[in-house]
Structure 1
Amino acid sequence: MKYRTLGRTGFEISELSLGTWQVGGKWGEAFNHQNADEILNAAIDNGINFIDTADVYGDGESEKAVGRLVKSRSERIFVASKCGRKLNPHTNASYTPPALRGFVEDSLKNMGLETIDLIQLHCPPTEVYYRPEIFGEFDKLIEEGKILKLGVSVEKVEEALKAIEYPNVDTVQIIFNIFRQRPAELFFQEALKKNIGIIARVPLASGLLSGHYSSATVFSKNDHRNFNRNGEAFDKGETFSGIDYKLGLEAVEAVRAIYPETPMAAVALKWILGFEAVSCVIPGASNIQQLNNNVKASDMAPLTGEETNVLNQVYTRLIKEQVHHLW
């Protein structure tokens, strides 16, 4: 495992880390703590030392599993959680300093920790990024020792650019993969200037880039890949990176033709790690085999310039016109 510095936080983290949206089971299934414990411990055994969770993952069960992991291991494990998505309705008006403080304190209780290394606003409405009092509340939480650093998880490049205008925002978590390339333009340039840590999320486009799906694949009733393809429940970009499923399968086959012998997930993750601005990538895993396959990306040789260009041509030819301007 290779390590990178998470921007100006100074945290030395595994470049291939772990997202825990589905760590306790597949999307739409009940949270399984035994499965979560096995995956989380296997992650640490493989050199991963940065775990990203959220209070809404498994309705708090993911945070509980992460807290249990931290207390059971001797290694330094950096914990990132997120807050805000529990607000109902999830609107700008619902975002208040007391509400967010309450969520942070609830997360501390869930995990049994005194301090969270990194707390992130969890994809708030765009208007929230224009409210200094929201960001100011986290300075107080830092002073009180409840959190060490503040970050944001965003839907849009424009939100990321606005967020890093606040001096206490040290990290940005953003969707970035072969099928979602816009962040590599202006945002990455500005992030590098300010030494912002970039956490690449949804790196496999909700599993599309694993190469394991086909037109015959059936997703369960409660899986967002079944019910949110057109943004019915939350931002469309969270599901398959906002790409039409049929078109996504066509693009996947184009990538597979370039790398017929290499696991597609590893190629997709290595493509992301080829960007200097990226601090880490956080694929999820619903079983240990998925985790082990993802970890292999860190040990792969870097993609050559020619290989990267060929992958980018797949995006330009099939995907760019549909999604580039949207997020």
Structure 2
Amino acid sequence: LRGYGVSVDTLPDMQTAMQTTGCTVMELLFNAFHQDVRAGLGGAAAQGIGLIAKVPLDSGWLSGRYDADSRFSGVRDRWLPDDISRRALLVEQFAALLPAGMSLAHAALGYALAQQQLTTVIPGARSLQQVADNMAASNVKLDTRTIDAILALWHREIEDEPLPW
């Protein structure tokens, strides 16, 4: 075994893994709406831990697939109506920050890719078209103003009242 990794969703879990496991890679819940692990990125990178961003499209919300009228089954039925309404509003606010013509998915993936400490980003896909579109996002370079605005949205609307996973 050359190394091993862990998959974590929160900053406390990330910090515990960094302090106790000796892992060489971490898969982190990170996207424009889930950024609490941001505070641990520098420390993990300084320890030489490879960092993978999982769920960069927030389970489809940051692809523009869902809105306030969306209803879910399966694993996504965990979202209460208030969670759905809030996410839909946040998607609208996110979209308003983007350069004209940029898709939500490209912006969301571009935002994750702009985090220098992240080694890679692994978006999900349900079709070859989605795979191709996700790959095209690797060429997206968000400007500093947009990156800062997305971070400010998280600080203002989500940081103190996190969205449920």
TM-score by length of 1: 0.47
SS in structure 2 of the partner of residue 200 of structure 1: strand
The residue identity in structure 1 corresponding to 2:89 is E
Report the counterpart of residue 71 of structure 1 in structure 2. Answer: none
Q: Which runs of 5+ in 2 are unaligned?
A: none
Checking the alignment, whether the CA contact within 8 Å between 1:172 and 1:198 is kept in structure 2 is yes
CA distance in 2, matches of 1:201, 1:276: 15
- Which residues of 2 match residues 1-327 of structure 1 at below 5 A? 142=1, 148-166=2-20, 168-185=22-39, 187-219=40-72, 221=73, 223-226=74-77, 228-229=78-79, 244-259=83-98, 260-300=100-140, 302-323=141-162
CA offsets 1:123-149 (integer angstroms, 9 cap, x no match): xxxxxxxxxxxxxxxxxxx2xxxxx32
CA drift of 1:194 comes to 0.4
TM-superposed deviation, 1:310: 1.4
Deviation, structure 1 residue 166: 4.2
Q: Aligned with 2:145: secondary structure?
A: helix
CA contact (8 A) 1:255 1:314 kept: yes
Q: 1:303 to 1:285 in 2, by over 3 A?
A: same
Q: Report the 3-state secondary structure (helix = DSSP H, G, I; strand = E; otherwise coil) of the residue aligned with 1:195.
A: coil
RMSD (Å), alpha carbons? 2.1
Equivalent position amino acid for 1:247 in 2: R
Larger radius of gyration: 1
Decide whether the 8 Å contact of 1:247 with 1:318 is kept in 2. no
More strand by share: 1
Provide the C-alpha distance between the structure 2 equivalents of 1:255 and 1:308, rounded to a whole number of angstroms.
11
Aligned partners of 1:175 and 1:202 also within 8 Å = yes
- The TM-score, its normalising length taken from structure 2, stands at 0.89
Q: Deviations over 1:209-262 (max 9, x none)?
A: 01121122232x3x2111x226xxxxxxxxxxxx92211111111121222411
Work out the CA distance in 1 between the residues paired with 2:50 and 2:158: 27
> Which ranges in structure 1 are unaligned for 5 or more consecutive residues?
1-141, 143-147, 231-242
